[in-house]
Chains A and B, each alone.
Chain A
Amino acid sequence: MEKTLVVEMKNITKRFPGVVANEDVTLQLHKGEVLALLGENGAGKSTLMNMLVGLYRPDEGEIYVNGKHVIINSPQDSMALGIGMIHQEFMLVGNLTVAENIILGLKDLPTVPPISEINEKIIELSKKYDLKVDPTRLVETLTVGEQQRVEILKLLYRGADILILDEPTAVLTPKESQELNKILKKMLSEGKSAIFITHKMIEVLEFSETLMVLRKGKCVGIKPTASIKELSEIANLMVGRPVLFELEKGPFKPGKVRVELKNVSVNSKTHTRKTLDSISFTIRSGEILGIAGVAGNGQQPLSEVITGLMRVNSGSIIIDGEDYTNKTPLQIIKAGVSHIPADRGRMGIVGDMSVGENLSMKKYRTQELSNHHMINKSKVRQFASNLIQKFVIKTPTQFTSAKFLSGGNIQKTILAREINSCKGILIAVYPSRGLDVGAIESVRQNIIAQRDRGSAVLLVSEELDELRTVCDRIAVMFEGRIMDIMDAQDASTEKIGLLMAGVERSEECDS
């Protein structure tokens, strides 16, 4: 079968102050195929794709689309060429409806857009591709999975033939990823093509025909996916040396209770169903409690009530024997609680401040970094450079604005800050989101090290593998309730799967 080239990027080089993000990279995408683009955090994947959609311009090299040399100056240009991208951080406007988001930025729109026509077209598209969303809903009321669908619809609506998906599954549940795979396959059968960035090796095998690996901005390998026999092959290519996954985990020696929730409930502003419904559990010193469940079933509110960011309507939260119900975030931080939030861009990082400042944001008020009310800048510098080294954060300097880091390195910055400042209680929500294989292992190892040192850890994750290898006990959440709590070794995939879907445990009565 003769393959036609739809996109060719030739000898692309892109430099930013202090880094070469892409160096002499050549990429080819054929019609009807999925190209998986792989590489460590900061390898230059997003940058390369951003040049294809006109957010950056290459310093050197040329881009051909459908055989023609093109210069892409803006997202509008790339849209006109039939290229559409779903970015690593979603670019939806929360207080607009789904339909409004989809038509936002569209050229040639009449001043008063024919909303009903647009809605119909959206419904038609969503039927065709089996993407269920209500065009009249506000985007801020959607789950991440639904937002993802809106992003895809946006591309389809604009008639994109070349789809770029930058870590689209990082925030999806395995089931949602499967659905995405189906949608992709359907689109490919219509002659569309896609470039797919991911850190999940399994998906590479399932989704793609060809894979291309970047390392430190350079292309280090292009292979047909079918030729890959072992997942470790890809990892070797990405990192440049064999990666060994061996988590060191000490024996389970739980100590005294550090965190206790008693019948904690939070009413929802929009639903009659409670956001959190009578949650009770304890976390002991030296123990990792995992929270499993489909995203949007109360995991994030749960982390926010413990950290004082959300008020509870009833019930109590006890930390080290003292009542911390509805205390301020600062009081809770002072009680020793660290928090890796779910939404790194909004809650975790201040993009316009430097990496060093972001690293110091938990400790600037302690004697370690300041002297009464004055911040000791030289101590901060020392502190930041230590953390950057220890957590292998890729940044030109610690004075670089955090927003210029790659997605995974922003996540590492938050992890470094929170793990470093952890004083006995760690609330980690999707901590390995967006990290490359190596970084995921080191985060897991870090969390386990906290536990072995006697910390109490709450780990929210969607990945059963992660929960099973890291946690000591696993709780399953569904619609704001805890369905069951079990020891990690008893947590079979089927058992958790049923609980996650809301099927009550009725026959078995063990505890």
Chain B
Amino acid sequence: MRFIIEKRNEKSKKMQVLIPIYSLLISFVLGAIVLLLSNANPIQTYAAIFKGAFGSNTKIQYTLVKMIPLLMCGLAVGIAFRLRFWNIGAEGQYVMGVIGITWVMQFWTWLPNVLVLPIGLIMAIIFGGLWGGIPGALKAQWKVDETLTTLMMNYIAIGIAEYLYISAWKAPKNNMGTVKYPDFAWIQRFWGKVHYGIFIALILVVILYFVLYKTRWGFELNMIGKNSEAARCQGVSIKKNIILAMLLSGAIAGLAGGIDASAVTHSLTKGVNSGYGFTGIIVAWMSGLNPFVSIVIALFLAALETGSDALQITMHLPSAMGEVLQGLILIPLLAGSIFIDHRIKPARVKGDK
């Protein structure tokens, strides 16, 4: 018997809920098999992941701090995806944001103290926005494929960052990394490690929800994403909107970098390409581009990361096992999202001889 995949006629609400749940179950079963093969008790391991993510105040705080850039990168990528612009360059835009804020922190010493953080964040927005705007403009003007340009620009951004923290902007005494930002320009924490950046991220969710679902511009983006030719016939400029959306997408990813740098790392250093930009793609995809749903997905992914980091210590599993488990959990979830739109069925012919 052969199987074929066909598009569902109607998107079913029930499926939208059930499929992620089934996928998650499959994920856990897959993970359990791998764990059993490496002589670990799956139940204990899953419990350890959960405890590692939420087991104590400190752990919750770690998870929340990770969630902030993940959520923001997810929002950033989601805006571009609405237009079917496959921005896989949030990582680079994030890194450019960090470079932008570091430049202000390190060299704009003539600024009054109170202005350093705001101007720094604005610079992160500008740097990230430009880094997103360039592939947007290339696509709009010359139809250059965005998956290639955004991906390449990731590596350029990471290269520039390395050059800066290893040589040009390196702090005199360190092997690598810039000098710490002045402490008056740090984003403050209010609960353990959790900093005020979380509110910026949450406010952004609300703003984006309004922009995307309630405004004329959001309506236009929706039209372009769903039928760009019809949108053009209705007077919507495709070129202008691709550039605008990519400026915004890059700006949010850049801001994510700026916030994380000024609240957590306090410098531009190794590890700046943390993968938030890439994981953001998963957030956007799994949330169905809905900003509010993104919060839940970002929290889940952040928990998965902090939780599996803890495995090494609590379960004495090799550190790679954490990553293997993360992958095993994500793949069925991503694959499952296909079946919200499609269904699989046996290809058979009945009735004829």
Contact = CB atoms under 8 A, between A and B. Distances in A.
B143 interface: no
B227 A71 contact: no
Interface string A219-251: 000000000000000000000000000000000
B350 A329 contact: no
Interface stretch (B151-159, B232-240, B302-310): B232-240
A68 B219 CA distance: 51
Interface string A300-316: 00000001010000000
A328 B10 contact: no
Contacts, number: 92
Contact of A81 (B6, B223, B236, B351): B351
Interface residues of B, number: 29
Given A328-B237, A353-B223, A348 B230 contact: yes
A346 to B, nearest CB: 5
A341 B233 contact: yes
Contact of B351 (A68, A348, A352, A375): A68
A374 B214 contact: yes
B233 A339 contact: yes
A81 B349 CA distance: 9
A330 B345 contact: no
Contact of B352 (A74, A81, A328, A341): A81
B229 interface: yes
Contacts of A332: 235
Contacts of A341: 233
Nearest to B215: A373
B251 to A, nearest CB: 18
Contact of A347 (B217, B233, B236): B233
Contacts of A72: 351
Interface residues of A, number: 43
B189 interface: no
Given A330-B236, A357-B219, A364-B219, A76 B231 contact: no
Contacts of B216: 364-365, 370, 373-375
A353 B345 contact: no
A417 to B, nearest CB: 9
A404 B236 CA distance: 24
B229 A347 contact: yes
Contacts of A73: 345, 347-348, 350
A5 interface: no
B153 to A, nearest CB: 29
B229 A346 contact: yes
Nearest to B211: A373
A70 B215 contact: no
B222 A71 contact: no
Given A375-B215, A375-B216, A70 B350 contact: yes
Given A329-B233, A349-B230, A74 B219 contact: no
A133 interface: no
B313 to A, nearest CB: 48
Contact of B219 (A65, A352, A362, A375): A375
Interface string A316-348: 000000000000111011100001010000111
Contact of A330 (B10, B217, B237, B350): B237
Given A74-B347, A365-B216, A333 B222 contact: no
A350 interface: yes
Contact of B235 (A333, A351, A377): A333
A64 to B, nearest CB: 9
B114 interface: no
Contact of A74 (B4, B226, B231, B233): B4
Nearest to A63: B351
Contact of B349 (A80, A353, A375, A377): A80
Contacts of A361: 223, 230, 234
A365 B10 CA distance: 30
B184 to A, nearest CB: 37
Interface in B1-24: 4, 6, 9-10
Contacts of A17: 10
A346 B228 CA distance: 9
B351 A350 contact: no
Contact of A71 (B214, B229, B351): B351
A347 B237 CA distance: 14
Contacts of A352: 226-227
Interface string A51-94: 00000100000000100111111101100110000000000000
B214 A353 contact: no
A218 B10 CA distance: 24
B235 A350 contact: no
A374 B215 contact: yes
28 contacts: A56-B9, A70-B350, A71-B350, A74-B4, A74-B6, A76-B349, A81-B351, A307-B233, A309-B233, A328-B235, A328-B237, A329-B233, A329-B234, A329-B235, A330-B236, A330-B237, A333-B235, A346-B229, A347-B233, A348-B230, A350-B230, A350-B231, A351-B227, A353-B226, A361-B230, A362-B234, A362-B235, A374-B214
Interface of B: 4, 6, 9-10, 214-217, 219, 222-223, 226-227, 229-237, 345, 347-352
Given A329-B232, A377-B214, 5 more contacts: A81-B352, A333-B235, A346-B230, A348-B230, A362-B234
